[in-house]
Structure formats: C-alpha cells, structure tokens
Chain A
Amino acid sequence: MIIGLDVGGTHTDVVLLGDHGIECQAKIPTTHEDLLICVWKGLEAVTLGVRPHDVERIVLSTTLTTNAIAEEKLPPVGMIVSSGPGLDPEFFRTNDHYYTVSGSIDHRGREIQPLDPMEIEAVASRLRKEGVRHVGVVGKFSVRNPKHETQIQEILGDHFEYVVLGHRLSGNLNFPRRIATAYLNAAVYPLHKKFFDAVRRSLKKNGLPIPIHILKADGGTMSFDASLDLPGQTILSGPAASVMGSLPFASESVDTIVLDIGGTTTDMAVLVGTVPLLAAQGAEVGRFRTLIRALNTTSLALGGDSAVRVIDGRLHVGPDREGPAMAFGGSCPTPTDAIIVLGGDLKGDRDAAEQGMAQVARALGVSTREAAQQVFDAACRGILNAAEEMVRAINAKPVYTVHELLEGYQVQPKELLILGGPAPYFARRLQEISPYATRIVPQWEVANAVGAALARTTCELTLFVDTERGIATAPEEAFHQPVKRDFTLDKAVSLALELLTHKAVREGAKPDDMETEVLEKLQFNMVRGFYTTGKYYRVKVQVKPGLIADYRSVVERIQDTDTTAPCSTAGSS
C-alpha cells in the first residue's frame, strides 16, 4: 500500500491506496503554524489498524518551502558568484550576503581568468563571522566547466552546514536563474531538513518506519535522502500533485487540458497523451525565476469565489476574491452563487445566492436567472480563453532547427479534464460552449493526494561532449570523462541514458519502471580554418513524468466507486 499526502493552502488531503483503490482517505485543516500537526493527523487517520510493513512508502507534497519563499521568511544565505564579463552580476543579487568574486569561464568551458583563492577565503571568513551556515556557489558557464565552483567549495571546507554548487542544479544555461536556484536551495535546506527529520522521527517513534518520498514540482518523486541534496525541487509540488492525480483519467490518444477550478484560482496544465508538459526553463516562484524542473502550469485568478462586479454596465469576474460566496456567508456575489441560482446542488444558502444574483441583475437590467447565466458564462469563457492562450503560448515556443520549425509537434487539445468543487457544472457548460469533450476527474477531492501517491520518479540529464577539448560532461551528476576524437553521437546518447538511469535509481526509481526519452540530440562539426577539428554533441534525456506501473488496478477501483467512505472522520469537513 502507498500513502499520498498533500498539504494544501487550506486542507491537507491524505489517501491510503491499496488493492481496493482508495482504502482510506481523510481531509484535515492545514495547520500553518506547525505543518507537522496536520501531517501527523493525516497519517494517523489513514494508518489506523494498518500493519506498518504493508505500507511500502509515504509520498508527501507540502507547501512548506513554497510558503517560506513566498513570504520571504528565509534564513540568511551566503552567495558567492563568479561572473566574468557580461551583464553586471549585481543585477541578479538575491540577498544581503551576496558576494561577486573574480574568475571567468567562457562558453566552451575554457578558463579565461583564474579564481583568486585569497578573495574566496576572505569571503568565507566573513560569512562565518556573520553566522551564515548555508552557501550557494555559482559561476557563469559552470555547467561547461565546474572547476571554479568546486575550487570554491574546497576553500569553504567543512565550515558550513550546506554548500550547493550551481552546476549540480540543471544542465540548462541560464546564469541568473542558476543564481536564484542556488539561493533557494540553500535557503530552504534547513527548513526542509528539520521538517522531514521530524516526520521521520515521529513515524519511527510510533512504530511506522515507512520510507518517505517527496513530490517534486515536475510531478516526480524522490526519496527523502535524495531530496537533501537539492531541497529546492520540492517547491510548487501542489499544482503538480493535482495534475498527476488527473493523469489516470486522461486519454492516451489525444491532448488534454487539465483545469483545477478552486475558490480563488483555476490552475491549468496541458497533457500530451498522458504525459504532462514541463515548463521550458523552470519554475517561477515569488520573485524568483529558477531552473527547478517543473510542470508547465498556469494559474488564472478566476475561481468559484471570485468577486463579481458590474462596472459601467459591464460584467467583471475576478481577479480578486472578497471572501466566500454569498451562499456561504460572504458579502460579494460570486460564480458559485450563480451556479446555485441556476439549480446547482452546492449546498449553501440558496436565498443568499439569489440575493447576490439579484444585485447583479439590477445592475445589468436583466432577470436574476439571466444574470446568473451571464456570470457563469463569463467565468466559463474566462477559463476557456486563458486555457487556449496557454496552448497558443506552448505552440509559439521558439525552436532552433528547420526540421522542428516545419515538422515540430503542435499541441491540439481535444478534451478538458476538470477538478474542483463546481467541476460538474463547469464541465457541462464548457462542453456546450466549446469544441472540447469535457470530463470530470473521479474522486477529485483527493486527486492531489492520489497523484502524489502514484507519481513515479522522474529526472533529466544533460550531456555535452566536446571532442576537440576531449571531454564529456554531465554537470548535474558531476560527471567528467575524457573522450577520444572518434566518439560518436550514438555513444553520447547511450552514455546519457546510462547516467540518467543511474540518477533515477539513486533518487528512488525502480529500474524496471521508468520510461526514458531523448529530448534533444544535436551534433556540430567544429571547424577552425576550414578543417574539422572536432565534434560537439549535446544530448538531453529524461525519465518521463508519469505514474507507477501498477497504478492501473488502483485507478480502475477509483473509477468504479463513486463514493468512498472516509475511514476516519478526524477533522474532516
């Protein structure tokens, strides 16, 4: 059995999955002051009477790191940045203890200016004096040659609790994002470690020595131990959880838009078949643009509780929320009120909802029912337009070869997969006003927890081979190997896949359950003075985001049962 637990903004959802599908589920209010309380309550709720060794693993998705970043409640971090010529590295300052040092590497990975060890030692002793315990070290083009970053690490020695090196974060070239990503990893490290150590201790103390896995922003999981290397990967796992929970219900043969319609926002993602699309560069969180691998999700400020107003005779839905729907005690009319007036069975106070729509009706000069219809349609169209804009943006993504430009895959969604409280109502109307077939994710209330539980380990790896310089490097894996002149692209691809498999297994994947894919494979003749002096290969491979192989039986059960009785009522709403 597997436990999936997703700590959300208001609720913490937890499921226990087994041979009978969802064996047990619970919903607990999130305790923001101490997440351990709701996590523990959730685990207790589903493990009551379960034999510990029957639970294979627990997969956790939390808002812990995301919230800390959003609220900028982060501990001091030391940043040591070596830039060389180009944009002024001061532009990318992340925090107070941000030091730029000399040293420069060029685009081929050649050292242009060496580091100054005295300078680094001075920075290190200053950081120590300032009580900084966590450090990010980033060099421009360090993914091409990590020499300076590792030299700095050596000088820093073991005086710091955590030192993260830029080249280990991603094989992508983007110095400013590398700086931000290193900063965030160093900043969330103590928080992440403290929290999960506590979870692990509690489990052990209570006789549940179950391995902990953690959901990442890219919809994959990794073991707790692996997460300590780069804890920044755990940010934004919430939206990923819902997308992964929808995957079992997507059609393999068509592209799908996933819509998670909440109170304040609608989160959107795109599936190509049953594979979710990843963000081109990496996650964006708060003011930070990062290299953290993440699903391509867009959040639209429009949901069931969005404020409805009539300004100059025109109807506006959102972007803000003034509180709950009037049917649930709020003071501002909302799409939820419109759904209730139109006959939707969302519980709540029907009279209050009528009052809200009557306000809108007066302002628009139409009947209450007509007003409700207009409000609801405006919300549906808003969501539809944003979803189509997202698809347009995905298809407009620049490509760099003639082949891709002429033959590149264009996403053409045919289906909408909808989650969220008012999902059935939105699904029906969206089907009427759009060309898409719409479906509802069964058991959508716990789809996020199901998604966390069923997600497979996923990761990515970039390999560069420069036969003129005679080296192969996979920066994320700190892999460097000399290569001969006759090294081929095929060899490069199989080396990349081998390193990828190794990485995935280390992070918790089962060797017999991973689907690898070559994302990019380019080769260039390096010519100097009309003679070929070498070859340059660039290979990017990934383990596709997806669900573990034996999820099917579980999913069939979920589809069969329309209602699942929670096995515990602990705090459930």
Chain B
Amino acid sequence: MLRAASRTGLVFFPAFDWAISPTHPEREERLLYTQDQIFEEGLLDIDGIVEFKPDLATLEDVRRVHFCAPDERSVLTESHLISAGGAMTIARAVMARKVERGFALVRPPGHHAMRVVHGARGFCNINIEAMMIEHLRAAYGVDRIAIVDTDCHHGDGTQDIYWHDPDTLFISIHQDGRTLYPGSGFHHELGGPTAMGATINIPLPPRTSEEGFLRAMEKIVLPALEEFRPELIINSAGQDNHYTDPITNMNFSAQGYATLTSMLQPHIAVLEGGYSIEGALPYVNVGIILALAGVDYSKVREPDYDPDRIRQSPDTNAYIDRLAEEIMGYLRRCPEFIAKNRATKEFAQRERTIYYDTDNILENQKERLRVCPVCSGVLSIDSLTDRGYHIYAVHIPRKACPDCVALGYEWFDAVNLRSYDRVFLQDRTTDRYEVRKA
C-alpha cells in the first residue's frame, strides 16, 4: 500500500453552497474539479494522509487579528469562519503531533484582508492565516513564525497585519505590482520602523516559469528562512501563478508548485487564490499534497503541459539574481535601520488609501506607531471610508512593554467618542477586545 513519508493532515472544505455571486471566480464550482481529482487519485486512501473535518472559528479568533467595522457579523459569513476554522484545525493537528504537516484546502481565501476590515478586498474578508497564527500563539505559545505567500497577488493583507511584528517573517512572491492587483509588494517594502526585515517582497516579472520561481526560492526565500529560524513555516498556497490562470500572467506549473513545496517543507499550507479551476487547481493541489506527504509526484502534470510553450523570458533569471542581491543586502542592514529609527523617532505615522475592490469601498487610514526602544510599539489607526464610516482602533502588540500597554489604554480612554462611529481596543498582552461608541 502507498505510504506517506511524512504524516500529512488535510482539511478539504470546498463550500459547495457558498459564492460571492453566481458568476464570480470565488463561487461554488471553484474546488469541484479539485475534489474530483483528489478523490479519483485516491489520495485520501494513502497511508499517512489523514482528512479532518474543519472546526468553526469563533469571533474571539477574529478579534485577535481584526478590527471589523461596524462588527464581525456585518463583514463575514459562516463560510469565512469555517475557512479560518479549517486552517486552525490543521494547525492544531500539527501542534498535537497527530500529523507532521498539513494542508487546509479551504475557501474563501484571506490574504488580502488587512487588520481593519470594512468589507471584502480581493475576494477576502478575514485573514485566515493570521487568525490561525494568532490562535497558535494564544493556545500553544508559539513565537516565531514565517509565512511564505506563493499566491500570484501580493499578500497585502497579511503584510499589513504583520508589518510591525518582528516575530513574524512575511515573504511574498508574486507578479510585479505594476502589472497586477493589488499593485503593491515592491522589494523595498521591508516592514515597519521596529520590524524592518520581517517583511520581504519578491516581485517577479510576468511569464516567470518554474525556473524563475525555484531560483527565487533558492536565492532569497530559503536563505531568509535559514536566517530567521522560525518555529513554524506557513505557506499561503495560492495557485494563480499557473500558466492557465485567467486573471494573472505567470507561467508556473503543477510540477513547479510541487517542487516549491518540497523545497519549502511548510508545516502548514493554506489555499489562497487560484481561478483556473479546471486546468490548474486539480493538478496543482494533487502535486502539493503529494509533495507535503513525501510521495512521488513526478508523473503529476496538466493535460496540456508543454514546458517549451511556457518558457520565461531569457532575462528573467538575471533579473531575479539582481533582485536577490538587493534584497539580501537590505536584510543585512535592517538591524541598523531599526536602531536608527529607535534613536531618532518617538512616533511614526503613515497615511494610506485602501480600496476594497470586491465591495467597492475606499478607506483612508492614518496609522500612528510608538517607535518604542524596547518592544515593537503600540499602534493606533484612524480609519474613514468614503461611505462616511469612521473608526479609531488601538492595537497593543503581544509582547508590548508596560509603557506601550499604558499608552494604548490612555489613547483608548482619551478618545472623543463623538468623532467616531466606533472605537476599538485590541490588547494582545491579555487578549482583551473592547468596543466603545457614543
């Protein structure tokens, strides 16, 4: 009988009765053919591949990560809680050593959901990886975690949530933001003033193929992980880099995804995007599952796979080498940048406009961080949407120092309630979440 070299958990939740709208790419049919392929290949009968039923995430799990405006129930459905819950189920199975690694093949996805949520962006409402990670930290005391986002779109939501967290390394490999939604993820985006170097962006030119992706893995991702020494590696396993994906322009393949997975050896993979539901997802997912389980995947390929037809431009490798050199150079200097920030600034502000493409909302955000000499610093967010909804939120990070905790409460108590629709406090040192309104 076929046996997995690594015991691998699987949560498969295709949500056959949930869609953003009947013809939206994020619809009931999305994982149908993937299910067919997984079942027909008999993957669930492989000794050492275990399927789990997803748990339901709770609102408490949402509140460890997000500020939902006006509240959680208004921006999410049961399906989102199952999707996040599925990722958490896999994480628990890994922590309990029921399995060595696992894959949450769930939908809807989450990596475009930022800390503040007014609605859906890039088909995402809540960030399922971040909810899983913060659950792991709260329940199991895990500290250092790396997320490698291999979706074709920049994982701007995950980046936003972990921008100021030096204990979460976020690496995103994606199609260059000048050519694709959400238009961010440039290689000089390295993290907030006290967490520089814990965010790494690897924008690749359109039509990058297996060769280029694996080169970026080898030259940037693996050395960065080596340096960071995470306790857990999470893969946001989006599959829209595939050469057949209808909304992107890359040339990655099932073989490529499987090889990338076996190089990365993630503890937990979570499905993100991928909308070539017939031509890519069935084969890519089979490849990823086999690679996780350590079963031979050499014969997995798409029916129309032809490496010559999807070859990348001749100058792509040289571009990646240059990019690697620059990024690795930045990373070496980040401790120095952080020290300088701490020495020169008391507070850091940034102002941004965030567009919710799925729900057509425009948000204006003012963020204020205490550049704390000791911890990563308390954060406040003033957020106003074009619909006139206005919130103020205070985030006290998990390892905040007493001064930052005190300042956070001071901000929260001192705010003028009449200026806002809602005022939030998220104290991660005690897992307290409070909402005030006039």
Contact = CB atoms under 8 A, between A and B. Distances in A.
B42 A176 contact: yes
Contacts of A529: 246
16 contacts: A84-B303, A85-B283, A87-B300, A88-B299, A104-B303, A108-B278, A112-B303, A140-B40, A174-B40, A396-B53, A399-B53, A402-B15, A402-B17, A527-B23, A536-B29, A536-B32
A524 B29 contact: yes
A402 B52 CA distance: 15
Contact of A88 (B15, B29, B296): B296
B2 A91 contact: yes
A353 B56 CA distance: 53
Interface residues of B, number: 48
The 10 closest A-B pairs by CB, nearest first: A176-B42, A173-B39, A173-B40, A107-B36, A112-B303, A524-B29, A401-B17, A398-B53, A401-B16, A527-B23
A372 B381 CA distance: 70
B326 interface: no
Given A175-B42, A401-B17, 5 more contacts: A107-B282, A141-B36, A173-B40, A524-B32, A525-B27
B189 interface: no
Contacts of B82: 402, 405
A409 interface: no
Contacts of A530: 23
B41 interface: yes
Given A108-B33, A112-B303, A401-B17, A177 B23 contact: no
B1 interface: yes
Interface of B: 1-2, 11-18, 22-23, 27-29, 32-33, 35-37, 39-43, 45, 51-54, 56, 78-79, 82, 246, 278, 282-283, 286, 290, 295-296, 298-303
- Range class of the A interface residue count: 35 or more
Contacts of B53: 396-399, 405
Contacts of A522: 16
A107 B37 contact: yes
Contacts, number: 117
A287 B2 CA distance: 12
A506 B1 CA distance: 36
A203 to B, nearest CB: 41
A398 B42 contact: no
Contacts of A549: none
A118 interface: no
Contacts of A175: 40-42
A289 interface: yes
A174 to B, nearest CB: 5
A86 interface: yes
Given A88-B299, A107-B278, A402-B15, A289 B35 contact: no
A573 interface: no
Given A107-B36, A522-B16, A177 B22 contact: no
Contacts of A531: 23
Contacts of A84: 303
A314 interface: no
A402 B303 contact: no
A526 to B, nearest CB: 6
Contacts of A229: none
B301 A85 contact: yes
A88 B2 CA distance: 11
A405 B54 CA distance: 8
Contact of A287 (B1, B51, B79): B1
Contacts of B23: 525, 527, 530-532
A106 interface: yes
A86 B28 contact: no
B240 to A, nearest CB: 16
A569 to B, nearest CB: 47
Contacts of A106: 303
Contacts of B299: 85-88
A406 interface: yes
